[in-house]
């Protein structure tokens, strides 16, 4: 189940981009790390992610930046549009840096390969069944699942626990997404800090002429996003104001408070035709109507719709990023809207920060108090990004058309901290306070 050649000093739960990046950052610092994931396999066909220009520097530290750029579609500007057409533009990066649009499975393949080269193998089909802090460490029970044939007259297979192992590790990092079992074991709350947003998402082939621009389309009540994708494809994400999925709303709190169930699973980011088939909001006639009413300047004819889905985005922020030997990064700690791809990208920064602090404690007798600084810093950063400390406001040079829409841009800018302030300043916006 785990390597016998070295002690496990840090257990990373979750093998998405943030979990793999955190594990690689730990391994590069000489920390004995293992990665477990409840998925049956890595992502095989996933949607495209966008890596912030500032986050590319993190991959450069690990020697992966050029690999990513060679497989990515570069986006250099964020265009601000409305129904009438172009209203402005934000330059995202200079030189070779860009907003790198890359498929999730490609990114994870690179990270997992780099981990294997350091002797770290991801343990798929593994569930963290029990986790608790004790004696200055963390006690963990990990179960490994296998398929077992059952039945006589009607044969079928079920997932069963094939092996169970108890171990004590100094640190557990929860990068296990919005249903995080590590967060639940930590006892951290995960409240909504804003209303949920529903989007109808379509990917299709089209000669859209986007070049290297992502377009943010600001309507009276909607914020839509048009992404260029590798291979001449594009993705439209249309906000659905007033839409509600009664079943999703009824289940959301139950899912967040549930136990460690749903194991093992196919990766949530794996996709074929997408989810929500049969919904009127995802029919081709709806796609054409969204374009006609919200972006009539989009003349490209959608052909070969390869993916369509209804997505519910929540705004949530954990009450704590960790305590003792249990810490969180990525979607396990925060959720936000889709346009700025902030949750995943900041999760990479969190993983790197956490890896450095843990390595310092384990290898250089560093202070455990530095982890409380991690909690304080990222809580402050996310309170700012979620608009809890005021949000964006118009400065004197903000164009008139944008003034009443200023607050909407905060979750749409692919940056945080000073980089976000610089992007906002290009269109006359500033953070309050």
Each residue's pLDDT tens digit, 119-128 = 999 999 999 9
Ranking 115-129, 255-269, 311-325 by mean pLDDT, the lowest is: 255-269
pLDDT confidence band for 1 (50 / 70 / 90):
low
pLDDT > 90: percent of the chain:
72
Look at residue 143 and tell me whether its pLDDT is greater than 80.
yes
The mean per-residue pLDDT over the stretch 326-345 comes to: 95
pLDDT confidence band for 372 (50 / 70 / 90):
very high
Look at residue 256 in the predicted model and tell me its pLDDT: 44
| pTM recorded for the entire structure | 0.91
The mean per-residue pLDDT over the stretch 161-186 comes to: 93
Look at residue 146 in the predicted model and tell me its pLDDT: 82
| Residue 265 DSSP class | B
Look at residue 252 in the predicted model and tell me its pLDDT: 52
43 versus 221: which is more confidently predicted?
A: 221
Look at residue 212 in the predicted model and tell me its pLDDT: 92
State pLDDT tens for residues 2-12: 666 678 999 99
Q: What is the CA radius of gyration of the chain?
A: 22
Decide: 334 and 285 in contact? Cβ < 8 Å.
no
Domain boundaries, the chain: 10-431
Look at residue 353 and tell me whether its pLDDT is greater than 90.
yes
Q: Which two three-digit tokens encode residue 262?
A: 């749903």
Look at residue 270 and tell me whether its pLDDT is greater than 70.
no
The mean per-residue pLDDT over the stretch 77-82 comes to: 97
Look at residue 363 and tell me whether its pLDDT is greater than 80.
yes
pLDDT confidence band for 133 (50 / 70 / 90):
very high
Long-range contacts of 55-63 (CB under 8 A, 24+ apart): 55/345, 55/348, 55/349, 56/97, 56/98, 56/100, 58/21, 58/348, 58/349, 58/352, 61/352, 62/21, 62/24, 62/25, 62/28, 62/114, 63/114
302 versus 212: which is more confidently predicted?
A: 212
The mean per-residue pLDDT over the stretch 331-354 comes to: 96
Q: How far is CA 138 from CA 11, 23, 319, 327, 350, in A?
A: 10, 17, 20, 11, 21
Tell me, rounded to whole angstroms, the distance of Cα 387 from its chain centroid.
Answer: 19
pLDDT confidence band for 272 (50 / 70 / 90):
very low
Decide: 413 and 340 in contact? Cβ < 8 Å.
yes
Give 10-431's CATH code, choosing from 3.40.50.10280, 3.30.930.10, 3.40.50.970, 3.50.50.60.
Answer: 3.50.50.60
The mean per-residue pLDDT over the stretch 371-389 comes to: 97
d(CA 74, CA 51): 10
pLDDT confidence band for 42 (50 / 70 / 90):
low
Work out the mean pLDDT of the chain and round it to a whole number: 88
Run of H or E residues at 387: none
Look at residue 124 in the predicted model and tell me its pLDDT: 92
Q: Which residues contact 135 (CB under 8 A, 6 or more apart)?
A: 168
Q: Which two three-digit tokens encode residue 176?
A: 């296990």
């Amino acid at each position: 189940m785990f390597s016998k050649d070295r002690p496990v000093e840090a257990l990373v739960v979750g093998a998405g981009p943030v979990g793999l990046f955190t594990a690689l950052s730990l391994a590069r610092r000489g920390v004995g790390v293992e990665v477990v994931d409840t998925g049956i396999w890595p992502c095989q066909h996933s949607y495209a992610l966008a890596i912030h220009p500032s986050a590319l520097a993190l991959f450069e530290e690990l020697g992966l930046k050029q690999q990513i750029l060679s497989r990515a579609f570069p986006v250099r500007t964020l265009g601000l549009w409305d129904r009438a057409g172009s209203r402005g533009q934000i330059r995202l990066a200079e030189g070779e840096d860009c907003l790198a649009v890359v498929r999730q499975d490609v990114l994870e393949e690179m990270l997992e390969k780099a981990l294997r080269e350091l002797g770290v193998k991801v343990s798929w089909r593994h569930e963290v069944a029990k986790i608790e802090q004790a004696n200055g460490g963390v006690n963990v029970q990990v179960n490994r699942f296998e398929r077992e044939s059952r039945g006589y007259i009607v044969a079928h297979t079920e997932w069963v626990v094939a092996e169970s192992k108890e171990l004590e590790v100094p640190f557990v990092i929860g990068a296990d997404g919005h249903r995080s079992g590590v967060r639940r074991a930590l006892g951290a709350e995960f409240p909504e800090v804003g209303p949920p947003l529903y989007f109808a998402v379509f990917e299709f082939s089209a000669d859209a002429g986007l070049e290297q621009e992502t377009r943010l389309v600001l309507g009276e009540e909607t914020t839509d996003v048009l992404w260029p994708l590798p291979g001449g494809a594009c993705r439209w994400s249309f906000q659905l104001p007033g839409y509600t999925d009664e079943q999703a709303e009824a289940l959301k709190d139950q899912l967040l408070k549930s136990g460690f169930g749903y194991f093992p699973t196919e990766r949530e980011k794996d996709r074929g035709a997408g989810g929500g088939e049969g919904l009127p909001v995802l029919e081709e006639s709806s796609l054409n109507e969204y374009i006609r009413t919200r972006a009539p300047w989009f003349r490209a004819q959608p052909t070969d719709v390869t993916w369509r889905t209804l997505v519910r985005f929540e705004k949530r922020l954990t009450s704590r990023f960790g305590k003792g030997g249990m810490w969180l990064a990525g979607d396990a700690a925060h959720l936000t809207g889709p346009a700025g791809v902030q949750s995943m990208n900041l999760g990479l920064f969190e993983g790197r920060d956490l890896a450095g602090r843990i390595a310092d404690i384990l290898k250089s007798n560093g202070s455990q108090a530095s982890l409380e600084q991690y909690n304080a810093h990222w809580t402050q950063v996310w309170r700012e990004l979620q608009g809890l400390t005021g949000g964006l406001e118009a400065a004197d040079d903000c164009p008139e058309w944008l003034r009443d829409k200023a607050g909407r841009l905060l979750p749409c800018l692919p940056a945080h901290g000073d980089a976000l302030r610089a992007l906002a300043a290009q269109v006359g916006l500033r953070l309050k306070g």
